[in-house]
């Protein structure tokens, strides 16, 4: 039972900017995951995706994908909803060729609509996406992401509800986004545990065994997220977060979205491993003492 740590996109120190070179660099750095960023469009061909996927498999680097930013399942214009669904399907198809486990995306904006209305709309549209993928034998997990601004659908309750309603959907919990969205909450051990406890209770073992998190420092205000920050320049209580993750015995992936991409990812991984070692020592001592 352990978490894998990886970068959101190709590490900055990669000499060549390709996805394949990024995977090789991830392995060189001692990391074990990478999120392939299709945020400005899916421009990878299937043949190339199979090739890149084989490299990842050979190096034992776990892949996930981030779908384009231009997704809004609650657009007033029906053609934009159709295009949004197509982008998710397109990302999922290439993700399958890559051997990736998940596709992360931002679901929708509220616009002038009520939260309930938007949630129902997103569940309807995403159910149709899931149905299309299932019909084509694509079992990739779709992961709506918790979002950083109160204008976007994507608080924790909504994201869990989408997953409850649609099989083959699980959340991507972005801790920075939840922190920013609430203008500074969700930043203590107990608050992190409340997030994990709620999700585990609602979604059960299927989620506990297959989590997907985004972590970075974040600048925020009353309107939520402003921009991502390097961990050291932010107020994110990293050790408290990692302790919470360890206490729940989760399996899955942590993707770091810091501007100091691989540097902060390696800091998270190192601190996580040190805390696990310390936890084991404490447990062994307690066990010995109790005898």
Please state, as a whole number, how many other Cβ atoms lie within 10 Å of the Cβ of residue 219. 14
Note every long-range contact of 180-184, with CB atoms under 8 Å and residues 24 or more positions apart, other chains counting. Answer: 180/148, 180/149, 180/218, 180/219, 180/220, 180/224, 180/225, 180/226, 181/146, 181/147, 181/148, 181/149, 181/150, 181/154, 181/155, 181/220, 181/224, 181/225, 183/220, 183/221, 183/222, 183/224, 184/220, 184/235
| Cβ-Cβ contacts under 8 Å for 224 (sequence gap 6 or more) | 148, 149, 150, 151, 180, 181, 183
* Greater pLDDT, 284 or 203: 203
Query: Model confidence over 88-130: pLDDT tens digits?
Result: 999 999 999 999 999 999 999 999 999 999 999 999 999 999 9
- The enclosing domain of 171 has a CATH number of 3.20.20.150
What confidence tier does 47 reach under pLDDT thresholds 50, 70, 90? very high
| Res 139 pLDDT > 70 | yes
Res 89: pLDDT: 98
- Phi-psi group of 30: left, alpha or beta (phi > 0 → left; psi -120 to 50 → alpha; rest → beta): left
CA–CA dist 255, 86 (Å, integer) = 25
Mean pLDDT of 201-206: 97
pLDDT at 86 exceeding the cut of 70? yes
pLDDT at 280: 76
pLDDT digits (tens, 9 = 90+) for 140-197: 999 999 999 999 999 999 999 999 999 999 999 999 999 999 999 999 999 999 999 9
Q: Picking from 25-29, 54-58, 274-278, which range would have the lowest pLDDT averaged per residue?
A: 274-278
pTM: 0.95
Is residue 205 over pLDDT 80? yes
Predicted confidence (pLDDT) at residue 13 exceeds the cutoff of 60 = yes
Render pLDDT for 230-247 as a digit per residue (tens, 0 to 9): 999 999 999 999 999 999
Domains held by the chain: number = 1
Strand partners, 219: 227
**Domain enclosing residue 96, as ranges:** 3-290
Q: How far apart are CA 109 and CA 77, in angstroms?
A: 13
Q: CA–CA distance from 153 to each of 1, 46, 72, 214 (Å)?
A: 32, 31, 10, 17
Rg value, the chain, Cα: 19
Q: Is the pLDDT of residue 63 over 80?
A: yes
């Amino acid at each position: 039972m352990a978490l894998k740590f990886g970068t959101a996109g190709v590490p900055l120190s990669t000499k060549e900017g390709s996805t394949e070179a990024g995977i090789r660099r991830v392995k060189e750095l001692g990391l074990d995951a990478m999120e392939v960023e299709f945020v400005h469009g899916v421009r990878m061909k299937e043949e190339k995706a199979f090739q890149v996927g084989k490299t990842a498999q050979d190096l034992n680097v776990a892949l996930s994908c981030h779908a384009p930013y231009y997704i809004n399942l609650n657009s007033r214009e029906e053609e934009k909803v159709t295009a949004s669904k197509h982008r998710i399907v397109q990302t999922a198809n290439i993700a399958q060729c890559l051997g990736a486990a998940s596709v992360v995306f931002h679901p929708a904006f509220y616009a002038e609509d009520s939260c309930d209305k938007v949630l129902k709309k997103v569940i309807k549209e995403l159910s149709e996406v899931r149905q299309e993928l299932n019909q084509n034998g694509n079992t990739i997990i779709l992961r709506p992401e918790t979002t950083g601004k109160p204008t976007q659908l994507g608080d924790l309750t909504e994201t869990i509800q989408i997953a409850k309603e649609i099989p083959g959907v699980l959340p991507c919990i972005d801790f920075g986004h939840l922190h920013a969205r609430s203008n500074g909450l969700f930043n203590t051990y107990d608050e992190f545990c409340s997030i994990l406890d709620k999700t585990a209770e609602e979604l059960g073992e299927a989620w506990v065994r297959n989590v997907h998190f985004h972590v970075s420092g974040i600048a925020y205000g009353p309107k939520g997220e402003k921009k991502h920050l390097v961990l050291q320049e932010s107020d994110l209580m990293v050790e408290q977060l990692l302790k919470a993750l360890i206490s729940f015995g989760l399996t899955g992936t942590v993707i770091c979205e810091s501007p100091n991409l691989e540097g902060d990812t390696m800091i998270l991984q190192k601190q996580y491993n040190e805390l696990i070692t310390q936890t084991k020592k404490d447990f062994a001592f307690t066990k010995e003492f109790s005898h």
